[in-house]
Amino acid sequence: ANAGVTGPATVIIQGLGIGMISCVFPVLIIVGTILICNALEGQYGVATAAVGMLSTIGINVASDSYGAISDNAGGIAEMAGLDKRVRDITDQLDALGNTTAATGKGFAIGSAVLTALSLLAAFEDKAQVDSVDISDPVVLSGMLIGSMLPYLFFCVDHAFSPKGCPCNHDGSLAPVP
């Protein structure tokens, strides 16, 4: 709410920052998983973790479709002219469906990273290629963390820093010291 004092631009910047910082924790989890599995069992450990995550794909697809089904139910209730109470219930179910869909997508992305690393390692082994360094879990982990850092720096600099948008209580911009 404080970001909206100076207008919509600062709200957009803060929203971007919050969205961007949301990638930090999942990337750290994926990197930790890759490094731990590699330390325990090498490439086989990473592949086993990928298969373990992919084994729940049926549940992920079902939870992803829940939001669309409840949204359609809300549309049908609205077009049929049912009570407002029915629409309120379907809106709550739709919100829950959106949350489960977002969770499922993050899980799918994590398993895709592990699967891609395993497939790349298998290709490197079969083709007897030694120059593909990205199959090294430590290199891939560093790449993931490196690609996440601009998002983190943006949020720290723009979204969460009071100097990113210094403003007075009357909404006028204060000079940046």
Q: In which band, very low, low, confident or very high, does the pLDDT at 169 lie, cut at 50, 70 and 90? A: very low
Q: Provide, rounded to the nearest whole percent, the portion of the chain with pLDDT above 70.
A: 84
Mean pLDDT for the stretch of residues 58-78: 80
Q: How many whole angstroms separate alpha carbon 69 and alpha carbon 74? A: 9
Residues 82-140: pLDDT tens digits?
888 988 888 888 887 777 777 777 777 777 777 777 777 777 777 787 766 777 787 77
When comparing pLDDT for 172 and 52, which is higher?
52
What is the model's pLDDT at position 176? Answer: 46
- Percent of the chain at pLDDT above 90? 2
DSSP at 161:
-
Report pTM: 0.56
- The highest-confidence range among 4-8, 17-21, 29-33, by mean pLDDT, is 29-33
**Mean confidence (pLDDT) of the chain:** 76
- pLDDT at residue 40 in the model: 92
Contacts of 56 (CB under 8 A, 6+ apart): 107
Where does residue 104 rank: exposed (0-12), middle (13-18), buried (19+ CB within 10 A)?
buried
Cα 141–chain centre separation: 17
Examine the pLDDT at 162 and tell me if it is beyond 60: no
| pLDDT at position 168 over 50 | no
